[in-house]
Structure 1
Amino acid sequence: MHFQHANDLWQDFPHLVPGVISARGITRDASVDRAVAGFAATAAERLAGTPESSLPEVRAWRRAFASMGLKPTQYRCASESLLRRFRKEGVLPRIHPLIDLCNAASLAYGIPVGVFDMSRIEGNLEVRYADGDEAYETFSGEVERPAPREVVFADDSRRAHARRWTNRQSGHSAVRDTTSDVLIVVEALHDSAPADVAKLIGALADELRAGWGVAPVTAVLSATAPRFTY
Structure 2
Amino acid sequence: MTRPLHISGEVQALAPGFGHLAVEAHGLTNGPSDETSSALLDEAARRLAERLDGSAPQDDPHIAAWRAAYTAFGCKPSRTRNSAEALAKRALADGGLPRINRLVDLYNAISVAHLIPVGGEDLDRIQGDMRLVRATGDEPFVTAAGGAEVIEHPEPGEVVWCDDEGVTCRRWNWRQGVRTRLTEDSVSALFLLERMAPMTLDDLRAAGVELAERLQKACPDARIEIGEVWAQ
Alpha-carbon contact 2:48-2:114 (below 8 Å) kept: yes
Query: Which residue of 1 is the match for residue 153 of structure 2?
Result: 145
TM-score normalized by structure 2?
0.89
Query: Which residue of 2 is the match for residue 91 of structure 1?
Result: 96
Query: Which residue of 2 is the match for residue 19 of structure 1?
Result: 21
Cα distance, 1:46 vs structure 2: 2.3
Question: Unaligned regions of 5+ residues in structure 2, if any?
Answer: none
Alpha-carbon contact 2:20-2:229 (below 8 Å) kept: yes
Cα distance, 1:148 vs structure 2: 1.5
1:182-227 C-alpha deviation (Å, 9 max, x unpaired): 0001111031331221110010001111110122111243256xxx
CA distance in 2, matches of 1:80, 1:185: 16
Q: How many residues align?
A: 223
CA distance in 2, matches of 1:202, 1:35: 16
2:138 is the counterpart of 1:136: no
Question: Unaligned regions of 5+ residues in structure 1, if any?
Answer: 225-230
Cα–Cα, structure 1 residues 61 and 184, in superposed 2: closer, same or farther, change >3 Å? same
Cα distance, 1:44 vs structure 2: 2.2
Alpha-carbon contact 1:130-1:149 (below 8 Å) kept: yes
Query: Which residue of 2 is the match for residue 228 of structure 1?
Result: none
Alpha-carbon contact 2:128-2:164 (below 8 Å) kept: yes
Cα distance, 1:67 vs structure 2: 1.2
Query: Which residue of 1 is the match for residue 108 of structure 2?
Result: 103
1:118-133 equivalences under 5 Å are: 118-133=123-138
Residue in structure 1 matching 2:189, options 182, 194, 201:
182
CA RMSD of aligned residues (A): 1.8
Residue in structure 1 matching 2:179, options 172, 179, 200:
172
Cα distance, 1:138 vs structure 2: 1.1
2:68 is the counterpart of 1:63: yes
